Amino acid sequence: MSVIEYKFEQYKSLGPIIYRKEKYNLQVELLKLQEDVIKNKRRIALCFEGRDTAGKSSTINFFSEHLRPSNFRYVHLGIPTAKEKKEWFQRWEKELPDEGKLVLFDRSWYTRALTEPTLGYCTKPQYEDFMNNVNKWEDKLIKNGLEVVKFYFSIDKDQQKKRLSARKHSKLKYWKLSDSDKRMVNKWDVFTLYKNQMFDVTARASSPWVVINANNKMIARLSALRYILNTLDYDRKKILEPPKWGEDIGQYSCYIEGVLFENLTYEQYKILAPFSD
């Protein structure tokens, strides 16, 4: 089993000033990668999986903020039709990137390994068929030139409860709390079982899972993007080593749903940071 786990202990003391600097440097490098993808007609698929509220969508927004719109796509598929349920791989093949493009999947074909069996949205034979064939399908894609990166955003149970509660009472994000989210609250252990089975079967040297500690969303975004840039090759690449800093001196601030919280102590900031925009 090939699982690459990123806890990123060096980010424990991340403050807003350092975050902005890191974000800028990483996004500059990401544009270089996109230019290389366009120039050399590469095809890259980035898969973002994880529990509800793990920060997948916000990380995708972070990745794509300054990319050329014509050369990347965001994909978040809705409820599959009866035909799509039976033709699972074909459903996702239609969404794969063309030459010179990146596709960012907000949940991917691995929905069939995680959410669908957890909530009973697929049959046992459908689940087993996926698990028996996904590696061969991915190998075919990779052999044909597709570059695939599979992220799993990991959060603990208490953090998820806080985020679900915040989402429920938010005037801006209440719509994100779906019926599936509500059902998932009591399915933590079942989801964990399927997650572990997914790793056991599909985490391979040629296609590893990259596990990102997402208890702090800002740290997760930087961690995931740094992994991409350090792992994939591209022209004019600059290796950005993890910064070595302690707690930066001064007052802290963060935005939550557009509201600025400033003059925070470091301890206050650490509490609020996971809920920041």
CATH number at residue 241: 3.40.50.300
Neighbours of 63 (CB within 10 A): 22
Nearest Cα to 100, choosing from 146, 46, 148, 150?
Answer: 146
**217 and 264 together in one domain:** no
Q: Which residues contact 175 (CB under 8 A, 6 or more apart)?
A: none
Strands 43-50 and 146-154: parallel
pLDDT tens-place string over residues 225-268: 999 998 999 999 987 766 554 344 445 666 677 777 777 765 67
Asked if residue 41 lies in contact with residue 98, where contact means CB atoms within 8 angstroms, the answer is: no
Structure tokens that stand for 36 in this block = 């290389």
**181 and 137 together in one domain:** yes
**242 and 256 together in one domain:** no
**106 and 146 together in one domain:** yes
**177 and 140 together in one domain:** yes
**181 and 261 together in one domain:** no
Domain hosting 31: range is: 3-246
Q: For helices 56-64 and 217-231, what crossing angle results, to 10°?
A: 50
**261 and 131 together in one domain:** no
**239 and 271 together in one domain:** no
Residue 165 has pLDDT above 90, yes or no: no
Asked if residue 40 lies in contact with residue 93, where contact means CB atoms within 8 angstroms, the answer is: no
Nearest Cα to 209, choosing from 226, 196, 222, 192?
Answer: 196
Structure tokens that stand for 91 in this block = 């459903």
Dihedral angle over CA of 16, 29, 258, 180, nearest 10: -110
In this prediction, residue 177 has a pLDDT band, given cuts at 50, 70 and 90, of low
**158 and 185 together in one domain:** yes
Domains identified in the chain, total number: 2
Residue 66 has pLDDT above 90, yes or no: yes
Predicted TM-score (pTM) of this structure: 0.83
Residue 11 has pLDDT above 70, yes or no: no
Helix (H, G, I), strand (E, B) or coil at 188: helix
pLDDT tens-place string over residues 180-218: 666 777 889 999 999 999 999 999 989 999 999 898 888
pLDDT tens-place string over residues 101-155: 999 999 999 999 999 999 999 999 999 999 999 999 999 999 999 999 999 999 9
**277 and 196 together in one domain:** no
**140 and 256 together in one domain:** no
Residue 20 has pLDDT above 90, yes or no: no
**Which residues face 146 on adjacent strands?**
43
Structure tokens that stand for 142 in this block = 């990779």
Helix (H) or strand (E) holding 5: strand 3-6
Percentage of residues in the chain having pLDDT higher than 70: 83
Q: CA 258 to CA 255: how far, in whole Å?
A: 6
**111 and 237 together in one domain:** yes
Nearest Cα to 59, choosing from 216, 178, 255?
Answer: 216
